[in-house]
Structure 1
Amino acid sequence: MIIKFTRKIRQRVLIITSLIILLGGGIYLFKPNTIKETSNIEEGNRNKYTIDVIFDDESKRLMCNQNLMYVNKTGKDIDKIYFHIYPNAFSKREYAPFEDNEISEAYPNGFNEGYVDIKNVLNNSNTLKYNIKGDKNDILEVSLGKTLKPNEKVSIDFKYNVKIPNCLGRFGYGDSTVNITNWFPIACVYDDRGWNLKSYESLGDPFYSDTSDFYVKILMPRKYDIGCTGKVISEKHDNEKIFYEIEANKVRDFAFILSDKFDIQTDSYKGVLISTYNLNKDLSKYTTEVAKDSIKIFSNLFGEYPYDTYSVVASDFYIGGMEYPNLVMIDSTLYKDSKKFILEYIIAHETAHQWWYSVIGNDEISEPWLDEALTEYSTVLYFENKYGKGVGEKLIKTMEVQSRNYLCHNIFKATTQYKDSTEYSLNVYTKGAVIFNEVRNKVGDEVFFNTLKEYYSKYMYENVNGAKFVEMWKEKGVDLDKIISEYK
């Protein structure tokens, strides 16, 4: 997540406030990009989601029909498939994925439920048995009624409705936007530990998914504009309704955000359509420039951004920022002249997640450092490349002070092992960035950046773990374990 500046505005503001005091500096030009990458996952091996959605504005409900062509990549015979149904984590106050001291921010009008109502699950018109499980009733177990062998495919149809809560989190609606994220049944990852069936927890980003293809059709009131994963391939409307066909290939999820108040600005970079959806028109140009600079800088540092579209969307979202494929959510209250530095920082951080989460995935609950620490250090690199090395050094020095003053210990724990979001953020983000800077100092820029480029190229569209990341450095003659052991 944001920065996760997040809850993060609250904690990370500790860092950002210090940074505002320290930073002054002139602006330096970034270097041009040179790298192009290709897919490592063949189309036939990807799951394919086809979803038809009707959005009812009055009831804030989605009526959905979904087909999933599922590919058995477990390496084993299976007779069940598991799905995350994240909206059910919003069905009860005690389930809500927020810390207790944040409930009033998440639900300024009082708790309001959200959920998914599964109507039926079919395979070629044959009804399939299913059970709803998990700590928050957010796991769907579907029995296939037959054995699916490795690499075989099965077609599964779902009919369901989704109730969107009046909530200012990732999933919900406020006065200006409707945030439709983590909203549909998405297949759980099966890895060397088996099925990953973790619930929607309050700390960190509790998401882990496989790269898939999406084809989504949405019918909704014409008054709304839409920011979404993927690209709109068809748009039709009458006086009241608008109908979108959207395609998104080689992505981990599909999210969309609606508003009738957006000021939309566009730019491009090497064929990438960059769009910003703003709720403060005075900052539309600024956010578009930051979004474009972020894509340029990270493409140069790590490898080309591989998609056709990228959107930065101002949202009714109190947690700072959140990443999804091709799209990031940004807290609309940050769109003020007095908060431009924080706004730029969060946009840059969330954009870096397009490399470390979207293209290369990982279990964000068990190993949050693998994407978040690297993303946080990537944000430092953004400021270094855009404004000069001295600015990056000031950022790192401030993070070093934060790490010492707040007694940070182990960045390599699961999100569920931290006591609260402050401890999580200061360890995984702040101390994590400090560690990556130490690695860079010890191995030198050439080895450091070449290894990250190779990591990006080698594992595009795959899920990785810490062991694979460490092994990558060993192949370069770098004992990463030794470097980071002192930080455990």
Structure 2
Amino acid sequence: MRGKKYIWSVILVIVIALLIYFAPVKNSNLTSYNMDIKYSDENKTIIGTETVDFINTDDVKLGEIYLHLYPNAFKDKDNVPFTKEEIGLAYPNGFKPGYIEINKITFDKNVPATYSIDKKTGEILKILLPKKLDKGDRIKFTINFKVQIPPSQGRFGYGKNTVQVTNFYPILSVYDQNGWNNDPYYTLGDPFYSDVSNYTVSLMVPKDMVVASTGVIKSEKSHGNDDALTIDAPNVRDFALVLSPKFKVAEEDVDGIKVKSYYFDEDVGLKALKYASDAIRFYNSYIGKYPYKQYSVAESDFYMGGMEYPNLVFITKDLYTKDNLFNLEYVIAHETAHQWWYGAVGNNEVKEAWLDEGLTEYTTIMYIERYYGKATADAVFKSIISGEFYKFSKANKDDAMVKTLGQFKDWNDYTNIVYNKGAMVFSELRGLIGDEKFKEVLNRYYNQYKYKNATTQNLIDVVDSVTGKDTGGFFAEWLD
């Protein structure tokens, strides 16, 4: 009898531990999105609703709110967010529009909302609130919408093997010291800026469709010809999916984090899993523990190299070859670093893109140093970042780093200034303050601004607090 009681006690402990482990750690003071959506592979559409429980966290009364409708950036061929040189890569099988239709918006008790959509771009949704919200006040509203996914091999679209379902739903603009940030979907860079929120998603997909997702899939049930999934994603600043019926999946536990690789070729897919696991392991030890339960890397019909979303990145299928393993590793290490710099610690990627990209690029160099040694890291830094082609004049205003995406000339200009010059700033800072202080800066910056949006000034303040010195002059020389 004692033996049976002991066994049941052990089972109970295990069950409780599993419940705690998989339970999302939600902050009730965050805005939440509750989505109920269905994907049709035949029509490449998503139909559904989202209920937003919005909380005003600012010291102003709000009488209206704004949301981005990013899919409408893909509606008109002449205005899609690609350069002329990219159109053929983005639409290899010809252009078809992508867009989002807003069918209905209601407040509690099915009260119709008064709303309008920006006529010039169709990318901004304005909703008038029935009463002004003070700081700390909440209001719920529900949006019925339909999304048409385009045949684009960019962030939002589909190719032969995968469907990238990203930036597809109405998402709140950020209200900060500058007011509402209703920037357009710029052609260059990552034109996104969002607050951390809680997401609960009910998703219907065709049977046998494999889903790589932000958050954790909590349940999966069969409903006729469809599969119904429930996904929890607490404390994230966006929600994204990559879908494919052809995905193979491998996973590994790293420091209690489930790292997953979605791929088509097993040899390279397992290499991708190793690179992602190595990156998580190093960044955990150097920056601070990854704050989520799962991280996924997905091979995708995506021509742009790699792209980061919370808990999920997708990597171009062109890198999944044995001849491209170093480039694959570098891109995975870079996109994984974005889980810290963008994912956990956010920033305005429209106005201060250098803050996450420059730090992410230099963190990637530190990954190379960790696993291949300093000599290799220095060689990679010189060849990729600080070579002759990337020399900058600190006095040249065209090289200013803190500016809006629309002020960059082209992709080459953006890459050189935001990625390469940005990485050079952190390399110089490390040399100036030493390895120990540099690590302390990253630790403190991460822990102080996790789940928040940081600014360049916030970073400078952290450096000053760690070093006990005024480093404003150092940053001004590089950035302004």
Structure 2 counterpart of 1:48, one-letter code: S
Distance change in 2, residues 1:100/1:470 (3 Å): same
CA distance in 2 between partners of 1:381 and 1:307 (Å): 22
Residue by residue, what CA displacement relative to the aligned partner does 1:317-345 show, whole Å, maximum 9, x if unpaired?
10000000000010011101111111111
Shift of residue 134 of structure 1? Answer: 6.7
Residue by residue, what CA displacement relative to the aligned partner does 1:413-468 show, whole Å, maximum 9, x if unpaired?
32221100111001111111112101100100111110110110111100111111
Shift of residue 85 of structure 1? Answer: 0.8
Structure 2 counterpart of 1:272, one-letter code: I
**Secondary structure of the corresponding residue to residue 285 of structure 2:** helix
For residues 23-422 of structure 1, what are the structure 2 equivalents within 5 Å?
A: 43-124=27-108, 125-133=110-118, 135-238=120-223, 240-398=225-383, 399-404=385-390, 409-422=399-412
Match of 1:479 in 2: 470
Shift of residue 281 of structure 1? Answer: 2.1
Shift of residue 241 of structure 1? Answer: 1.2
Shift of residue 239 of structure 1? Answer: 5.5
CA distance in 2 between partners of 1:51 and 1:42 (Å): 16
Shift of residue 481 of structure 1? Answer: 2.6
**Secondary structure of the corresponding residue to residue 109 of structure 1:** coil
Q: Is the 8 A contact 1:138 1:199 kept in 2?
A: yes
Match of 1:34 in 2: none
Residue by residue, what CA displacement relative to the aligned partner does 1:61-109 show, whole Å, maximum 9, x if unpaired?
1011110000011221111110011000011112211111101110111
CA distance in 2 between partners of 1:375 and 1:286 (Å): 21
TM value normalised by structure 1: 0.89
Mean Cα displacement is larger for which, 127-136 or 287-296?
A: 127-136
Match of 1:445 in 2: 435
**Secondary structure of the corresponding residue to residue 150 of structure 2:** coil
CA distance in 2 between partners of 1:100 and 1:365 (Å): 21
Gaps of 5+ in 1: 1-40
Structure 2 counterpart of 1:122, one-letter code: T
Q: Is the 8 A contact 1:134 1:199 kept in 2?
A: no
CA distance in 1 between partners of 2:119 and 2:436 (Å): 46
Shift of residue 404 of structure 1? Answer: 4.1
Shift of residue 405 of structure 1? Answer: 5.3
CA distance in 1 between partners of 2:34 and 2:115 (Å): 20
**Secondary structure of the corresponding residue to residue 487 of structure 1:** helix
Q: Is the 8 A contact 1:56 1:62 kept in 2?
A: yes
CA distance in 2 between partners of 1:252 and 1:360 (Å): 10
Shift of residue 136 of structure 1? Answer: 2.2
Which residue of 446, 462, 479 maps to 1:456? Answer: 446
Which residue of 442, 450, 456 maps to 1:466? Answer: 456
Residue by residue, what CA displacement relative to the aligned partner does 1:297-319 show, whole Å, maximum 9, x if unpaired?
11111000010000001111100
Match of 2:5 in 1: none
Which structure would you say has the larger Rg?
Answer: 2
Q: Is the 8 A contact 2:352 2:456 kept in 1?
A: yes
Q: Is the 8 A contact 2:216 2:231 kept in 1?
A: yes
Shift of residue 263 of structure 1? Answer: 1.4
Shift of residue 385 of structure 1? Answer: 0.5
CA distance in 2 between partners of 1:161 and 1:464 (Å): 33
**Secondary structure of the corresponding residue to residue 359 of structure 2:** helix
Match of 1:8 in 2: none
CA distance in 2 between partners of 1:471 and 1:48 (Å): 31
Q: Is the 8 A contact 1:383 1:392 kept in 2?
A: yes
Q: Structure with the greater relative contact order (CA < 8 A, sep ≥ 6): 1 or 2? A: 1
**Secondary structure of the corresponding residue to residue 183 of structure 1:** coil
Shift of residue 112 of structure 1? Answer: 1.0
CA distance in 2 between partners of 1:93 and 1:480 (Å): 46
Structure 2 counterpart of 1:99, one-letter code: T
TM value normalised by structure 2: 0.91
Match of 2:421 in 1: 431
Shift of residue 146 of structure 1? Answer: 1.7
**Secondary structure of the corresponding residue to residue 346 of structure 1:** helix
Q: Is the 8 A contact 1:229 1:254 kept in 2?
A: yes
Q: How many residues are aligned here? A: 448
Q: Is the 8 A contact 2:338 2:360 kept in 1?
A: yes
Residue by residue, what CA displacement relative to the aligned partner does 1:370-409 show, whole Å, maximum 9, x if unpaired?
1000000000000001111111111222222145458783
Distance change in 2, residues 1:317/1:135 (3 Å): farther
Q: Is the 8 A contact 1:181 1:256 kept in 2?
A: yes
Q: Is the 8 A contact 2:358 2:422 kept in 1?
A: yes
CA distance in 2 between partners of 1:48 and 1:193 (Å): 23
Distance change in 2, residues 1:402/1:133 (3 Å): farther
